[in-house]
Structure 1
Amino acid sequence: MKLLAGLLVLSVLAAVATATTPTCPEDDGATPVFYPDDTDTHGFWECSNGKAVHLECPAGLVWNANINACDWPSSRK
């Protein structure tokens, strides 16, 4: 049973490690840079000082790349 639990943990860690982190500009400009999370519709990336920071939309909302904001799922069409 411990072996199975250990394999499950390793699988989850491997999936997280292979998630694509976007490349951000080194300097913050006047307009923030956002990227959608390709694996989670509730998540998105915001660039800050050359690094991508992963953020989550509040419960019930999803990331809408058209407006660069969290939005109701029905509005994403």
Structure 2
Amino acid sequence: NTLSFVEQHRLKKLPDLIARLEAEIAKLETYLSEPDLYSTAPLKFEKATQALLERQSALSEAEEDWLMLEERSEG
């Protein structure tokens, strides 16, 4: 199976997206690990938690897309 132009483009872009999401997740995890964050800034904690969940979901989806496209490109 050959990939369409759009799929080839996505396959090229996915590693950068995955790396960016992993970096954002690491920053959010570091931020959320601050011991007093929840008690001193509960709204910031909630927003950061939501952002972390969104990035983790996006990362999972991107990794699945990459794997599927990589398998299809190999035939």
Q: TM-score, normalised by structure 2?
A: 0.31
Q: Which has the higher contact order (CA 8 A, sep 6+)?
A: 2
The normalised TM-score by structure 1 is 0.30
Name the one with the larger helix percent. 2
- Structure of greater Rg: 2
- Judging by fraction of residues, say which structure has more strand: 1
